[in-house]
Structure 1
Amino acid sequence: MRTVQRTLLAGALTGALALTMGAGSAGASAPADAGPDTATGTSTVRTVDARSGDVITCKITTHLPHYSHHAHADNRHMVNVTADIKCSKKVAQLAIRVGLFKNGTLYKQSGTRANLGKNKVSQNAARRCVKRQNYTGAAVGVVTFPPGYTPHTKQVKHTSATVRINACKKS
């Protein structure tokens, strides 16, 4: 049963990721040396427990794509984008998938990462750096709230600003 759920979730997130770039909020350029912790806004969802009035707020953030060089790593000279979903309380399930776009075309898509009974999940997508290109990150996720909360499930998505990476080497 869990395999079927994961397969359906992965399919839904893949379709949503493809649509995210078309209607996303990308467009503002960011400096090429911006770090991975710099993001341009978030997307937020809220849910309420009908019995107690308790509120859970979840935010999805797609950080700016950045050149990632780790001297001892096998995957040197990569462009990396990370994204996360963080909730104010633990939820039943969080799932996220991240896409890295090069000049508006999907360049790398991550697998789906899910957490059960946690308040956060993160994922990344990385691929070989190509200099003098524009990179954008996009993330989609599904939040499944605990029983009694309305809505019970909510899809979230967020697109980073577009970053031009002019050099694929450590400065």
Structure 2
Amino acid sequence: MTTDKQTRVAVLLGSNRTGSLNRRIAEHLRDHAPAGVVVDVVQGLDAVPFYNEEIDGETAPESATALRESVAAADRVLAVTPEYNGTMPAVLNNAIDWLSRPYGQGAIVGKPFAAIGATPTPYGGKWSHEHARHSARIAGALVVDHIVVDEPAVNGDPLADEAAVRRFLDALDALVAHEAEAAVA
């Protein structure tokens, strides 16, 4: 029996820069997603104000509502992010903050989540990815810990390296293939 169901993956970008390496990685994943997978690179994270409970709720900013709707419509969430000063960029942290609310019912709750990316350092963004996974877990996401791609881009563009491209695509495949374990009541 075949199914026509598509798996939707919302990608949260940790870089606002139009030509950023991680944006290019996300767009590559979008453009080369396997059949049955739709990769949606969520736009407008830079327009979402810093989380403040006083502006949340029925009158939440349109940009925050759009972010929540994009992630709520997805089956999986993938952060593609560089590392800033040894941690995840503020724009990604802020997105996770908005997605975690209302507490226990946010758009990210129960969604399989992974964090990957590249940086021009020998560490490839490992702390950023660790921190994004940690924050997403606290926010209620189901973090898929075995998906790890901390790609060092010290000697150039990882998208020019077939092995690195394969690691990014394999991470997407693993996230799509992940079946969340049923919660024990």
With structure 2 as the length reference, what TM-score do the two structures score?
Answer: 0.28
More strand by share: 1
